[in-house]
């Protein structure tokens, strides 16, 4: 600890070139159970300088403390000074503390959010993001307050789907990340923090840190539902996210193909192992009906597979969503289908509405039984 202390006390404020310690900025410095916590006063230190300080800390301590066990927090005396009225200041852009997210010891609830629901799939491209987004709007259409968290760091797509690619999240006075609002739905996505050309070459532990911030450092306000659009598959990111967060239920998305179903079975079982209840399965791209022959159903990827899998697993079948050109176009144009009243009454609209009603019904605490299914 002595060595760690000395290093921390030698870290300089890039503004003044004096040590943080000599300026009396260090408010807390503890090292317990391999976890280093440093709280310092950042008055007058801009976000770039703050990043520099964090980089120096990680670099200097790299042989002594695991980077993931370093938690650096800042306080500012100005913001807690309630006696002097501050002039209205321009809000800063929110920053992500890459790599500083400490692992969470136990499942934590997202405050003020009634139900957290994760949308998952065993394989990619089956329509998770489309389902997450349109389910969010369908729940909103039922009068619910909804948030949408894009947990797909490698392929964030929610900003595009809701038509907010260029939005930049701001930081609140208490240093929380303010989510972006699209048609009354609050959302956050890694895509809002990087430019679309940037390669995403982040390591797993860093991803965990970012997702933790998306859950717990975003000012979600009061929500009935927070929908998590998980990355495809059943890797570490998905697992650690549901291990660290009190997720109320998983919705599995699958296409009718056998391969997709097999993958989704595996995925749902994984969530069972970490005690996350399965809310049900949605079959996406179930069939195609041409606009000029709406009574005709072409089962392009096979028929009824997801329903059968749901029966086998003993979980609910939440519904099937047909393929529709307008749905694909609405995604590409950033104008969510379930926010376009022109589509009301069409099969895709009705399917999402029914699914939203089932989700509401089945997350109702008074109606027992539904949430009890945990797949082992």
Q: Return residues touching ligand ATP (CB under 6 A).
A: 121, 124-130, 152, 155, 157, 232, 284-285, 321, 323-324, 327-328, 331
How many residues bind Mg ion, per CB under 5 A?
3
Q: Is the dihedral of CA 142, 147, 153, 157 positive or negative?
A: positive
Note whether 213 binds Mg ion by CB under 5 A. no
Residue 125 binding: pick among ligand ATP, Mg ion, none (C-beta 5-8 Å cut-off by kind)? ligand ATP
Residue 150 binding: pick among Mg ion, ligand ATP, none (C-beta 5-8 Å cut-off by kind)? none
Q: 3-state DSSP call for residue 333? A: helix
Residue 27 binding: pick among ligand ATP, Mg ion, none (C-beta 5-8 Å cut-off by kind)? none
Residue 336 binding: pick among ligand ATP, Mg ion, none (C-beta 5-8 Å cut-off by kind)? none
Residue 228 binding: pick among Mg ion, ligand ATP, none (C-beta 5-8 Å cut-off by kind)? none
Query: Residue 48: CB partners within 8 Å, gap ≥ 6?
Result: none
In whole angstroms, the minimum distance from the beta carbon of 157 to Mg ion comes to 5
Residue 242 binding: pick among Mg ion, ligand ATP, none (C-beta 5-8 Å cut-off by kind)? none
Cα gap 136→130, rounded to integer Å: 10
Note the residue count of the chain: 376
Of 65 and 138, which CB lies nearer to ligand ATP in the complex structure? 138
Residue 130 binding: pick among Mg ion, ligand ATP, none (C-beta 5-8 Å cut-off by kind)? ligand ATP
Angle between helices 2-10 and 47-60 (to 10 degrees): 150
In whole angstroms, the minimum distance from the beta carbon of 286 to ligand ATP comes to 8
Phi/psi at 71 (nearest 5 deg)?
-115, 115
In whole angstroms, the minimum distance from the beta carbon of 358 to ligand ATP comes to 18
Cα gap 133→148, rounded to integer Å: 7
Of 70 and 151, which CB lies nearer to ligand ATP in the complex structure? 151
What radius of gyration, in Å, describes the C-alpha atoms of the chain? Answer: 23
Q: Which of residues 127-166 bind Mg ion (CB under 5 A)?
A: 128-129, 157
Query: How many other CB atoms are found less than 10 A from the CB of residue 111?
Result: 10
In whole angstroms, the minimum distance from the beta carbon of 157 to ligand ATP comes to 6
DSSP 91: P
Of 65 and 285, which CB lies nearer to ligand ATP in the complex structure? 285
Cα gap 271→352, rounded to integer Å: 24
Residue with the closest Cβ to ligand ATP? 124
Of 14 and 155, which CB lies nearer to ligand ATP in the complex structure? 155
CA distances from 103 to 66, 190, 243 (A): 11, 19, 10
Cα gap 174→184, rounded to integer Å: 23
Return residues touching Mg ion (CB under 5 A).
128-129, 157
């Amino acid at each position: 600890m002595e060595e760690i202390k000395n290093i921390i006390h030698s870290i300089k404020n890039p503004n003044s070139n004096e040590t943080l310690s000599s300026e009396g900025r260090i408010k807390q410095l503890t090292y317990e159970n391999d976890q280093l916590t440093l709280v310092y006063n950042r008055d007058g230190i801009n976000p770039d300088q703050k990043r520099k300080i964090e980089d120096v800390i990680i670099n200097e301590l790299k042989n002594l403390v695991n980077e993931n066990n370093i938690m650096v927090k800042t306080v500012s005396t100005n913001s807690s000074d309630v006696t002097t009225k501050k002039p209205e200041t321009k809000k800063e852009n929110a920053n992500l503390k890459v790599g500083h997210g400490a692992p969470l010891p136990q499942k934590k609830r997202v405050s003020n959010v009634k139900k957290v629901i994760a949308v998952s799939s065993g394989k990619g491209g089956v329509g998770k993001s489309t389902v997450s987004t349109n389910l969010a709007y369908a729940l909103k259409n039922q009068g619910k307050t909804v948030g949408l968290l894009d947990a797909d760091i490698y392929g964030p797509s929610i900003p595009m789907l809701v038509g907010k690619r260029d939005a930049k999240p701001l930081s609140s006075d208490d240093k929380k990340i303010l989510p972006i609002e699209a048609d009354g739905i609050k959302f956050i996505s890694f895509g809002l923090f990087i430019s679309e050309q940037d390669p995403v070459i982040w390591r797993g532990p860093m991803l965990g840190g970012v997702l933790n911030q998306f859950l717990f450092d975003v000012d979600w306000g009061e929500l009935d539902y927070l929908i998590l659009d998980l990355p495809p598959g059943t890797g570490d990111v998905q697992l650690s996210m549901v291990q660290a967060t009190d997720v109320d239920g998983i919705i599995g998305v699958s296409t009718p193909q056998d391969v997709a179903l097999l993958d989704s079975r595996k995925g749902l079982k994984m969530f069972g192992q970490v005690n996350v209840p399965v809310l049900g399965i949605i079959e996406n791209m179930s069939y195609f009906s041409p606009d000029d022959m709406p009574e005709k159903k072409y089962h392009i990827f096979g028929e009824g597979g997801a329903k059968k899998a749901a029966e086998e697993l003993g979980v609910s079948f939440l519904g099937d969503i047909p393929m529709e050109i307008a749905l694909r176009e609405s995604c590409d144009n950033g104008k969510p289908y379930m926010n376009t009243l022109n589509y009301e009454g069409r099969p895709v609209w009705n399917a999402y509405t029914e699914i939203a009603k089932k989700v509401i019904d089945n997350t109702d605490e008074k109606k027992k039984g539904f949430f009890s299914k945990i797949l082992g």
